[in-house]
Structure 1
Amino acid sequence: MKVSTDACLLGAAANLASATRLLDIGTGTGLLALMAAQRHPTVEIVAIEIDKAAAAQAAANAAASTWASRLAVHACSLAEYTARLSLADADLRFSHIICNPPFFKESMPSADAARNTARHVSPESLSFEELTEFSVRFLAPGGRLTVLLPPPEMVRFAQAALAAGLARTSCLLVRHRPGGRVTRHISEYGRDNVALQERELLIHPGTGPEYTEAFRALLAGFYLAF
């Protein structure tokens, strides 16, 4: 499975300053979990992935990393993982949950089954309602949920989050070029109802392949070219 710009942006932009125990839902081959481990020196990370082959690769990547002792990978759906948890055990709650949910509905699926699972909505896909309801149940007090979605899907996600009891607290608006449309929202949700903070990130300064200084600074710890 290829590494996407979306995943790199989410992994680099999520605010992990107060994270102590993090859950990566739909980890794929483990990119977000590994980025979180690299960014935060003490956070304990649980990663779940429904695709068995991707989960096996994520486990291998975690085991080969410097942060293996802080990473646990489970090959299961969110529903299966939920069944293992006990609300009576506060140690099982998470200070942060990150997820890049499937969102493509009308586009043509690719020939790559794993990529379809990760990006395209299907009857077996993780729903916005399932994700937000899980987060309300298993986020620790003051915990945060961070997700990346295109703007229309983020509107629907915000509605599902609000219905579950979560409010959007911050949003990073991502544009590819000056004057271009916003293509992605990276939004943070929590139980506390505070004023929404918005900021923007521009990937390219013009029509060429060059990157903006802001993009380079954000991904400098992860892109070898930077």
Structure 2
Amino acid sequence: MFRFKQFTIRQERAAMKVCTDACVLGAWADVGAGGQLLDIGTGTGLLALMAAQRNQTALIDAVEIDGDAFGQAVDNVADSPFASRVRVYQTSIQAFAQNSAQAQQYDRILTNPPFYTNQLRSPDAVVNRALHTGDLPFEALVLAVQQLLKPGGQWWVLLPSYEMGLLTALAQSIGLQPFRQLDLRHHAQKPVFRRVTGFSQREGTCETHELNIYETDGRTYTDAFRNLLRDYYLIF
């Protein structure tokens, strides 16, 4: 269980637990004001609930293919103050995008996708689905976003740097350009281990930022990290 200031994430049935980089995505991405939001691969419902806290009038759809994670997300949403504005669907994003009864176009899309391709797989099939791209290759993800993102909308993604490069090339092939980027490091002397990128149809240079989670002692949170997560983490 992970308690935030305004909601709680229970995660015993989900393969992917709450992690720092996902919280950074949820706190740093531009979730707009009002409108329609979509969380692709919601897992426990973390990003959907973080977005609901920040955007107090948005209607949010969250899609999750795994049955256990879907049930966990449904329960977490139901127990939150945002239950009336968040709907969770058990389906693949490919099927969701093709289902005219469910699919619509969204002002903002958030995605923390699986990214392992050829690495050694876990014997746990549920963990494989959460971590590996087999059920959601980047090409299929980009196609779904192309169908679901409103003109002028934004798509926010969390990935390691190399995989973000692959995804960026695919996004650009359908006219989505990176316009804002955050490089995430454990501390200033460590390499970038995750990258948050915002994509839109607008042309121009990509605004780049960097965030260190810790000071160089590896234990003390930086002021920038504290300020970013202050509205969520109980310890801040």
TM-score (norm 1): 0.92
In the alignment, the residues of structure 1 paired with residue 139 and residue 121 of structure 2 have an alpha-carbon distance, to the nearest angstrom, of: 23
After TM superposition, the structure 1 = structure 2 runs for residues 1-226 of structure 1, keeping only pairs within 5 Å, are 1=14, 2-18=17-33, 20-85=35-100, 92-110=104-122, 112-122=124-134, 125-226=135-236
CA contact (8 A) 2:34 2:56 kept: no
- Classify the secondary structure of the residue corresponding to 1:15: coil
CA contact (8 A) 1:105 1:120 kept: yes
What letter is aligned with 1:58? A
Gaps of 5+ in 1: none
Residues 209 and 107 from structure 1, CA distance in 2 versus in 1: closer, same or farther, beyond 3 angstroms?
A: farther
What letter is aligned with 1:13? W
In the alignment, the residues of structure 2 paired with residue 107 and residue 19 of structure 1 have an alpha-carbon distance, to the nearest angstrom, of: 40
In the alignment, the residues of structure 1 paired with residue 34 and residue 155 of structure 2 have an alpha-carbon distance, to the nearest angstrom, of: 11
- Classify the secondary structure of the residue corresponding to 1:85: coil
In the alignment, the residues of structure 2 paired with residue 111 and residue 150 of structure 1 have an alpha-carbon distance, to the nearest angstrom, of: 23
In the alignment, the residues of structure 2 paired with residue 224 and residue 119 of structure 1 have an alpha-carbon distance, to the nearest angstrom, of: 28
In the alignment, the residues of structure 2 paired with residue 156 and residue 61 of structure 1 have an alpha-carbon distance, to the nearest angstrom, of: 33
- Classify the secondary structure of the residue corresponding to 2:44: coil
Residues 108 and 19 from structure 1, CA distance in 2 versus in 1: closer, same or farther, beyond 3 angstroms?
A: farther
CA contact (8 A) 1:19 1:96 kept: no
- Classify the secondary structure of the residue corresponding to 2:77: helix
Residue deviations 1:86-112 (CA, integer Å, cap 9, x gap)? 7xx9x9210000101111234443455
What letter is aligned with 2:19? S
Residue deviations 1:30-77 (CA, integer Å, cap 9, x gap)? 010011111110011000000011101101111111111100000000
Q: CA deviation at 1:143?
A: 0.2
Gaps of 5+ in 2: 1-13
Residues 113 and 93 from structure 1, CA distance in 2 versus in 1: closer, same or farther, beyond 3 angstroms?
A: same
Q: Percent identity?
A: 42
In the alignment, the residues of structure 2 paired with residue 4 and residue 110 of structure 1 have an alpha-carbon distance, to the nearest angstrom, of: 19
Q: Aligned pairs, how many?
A: 221
RMSD: 1.8
What letter is aligned with 2:99? R
In the alignment, the residues of structure 2 paired with residue 115 and residue 5 of structure 1 have an alpha-carbon distance, to the nearest angstrom, of: 18
After TM superposition, which residue ranges in structure 1, 4 or more long, deviate above 6 angstroms? none
TM-score (norm 2): 0.88
Partner of residue 4, structure 2: none
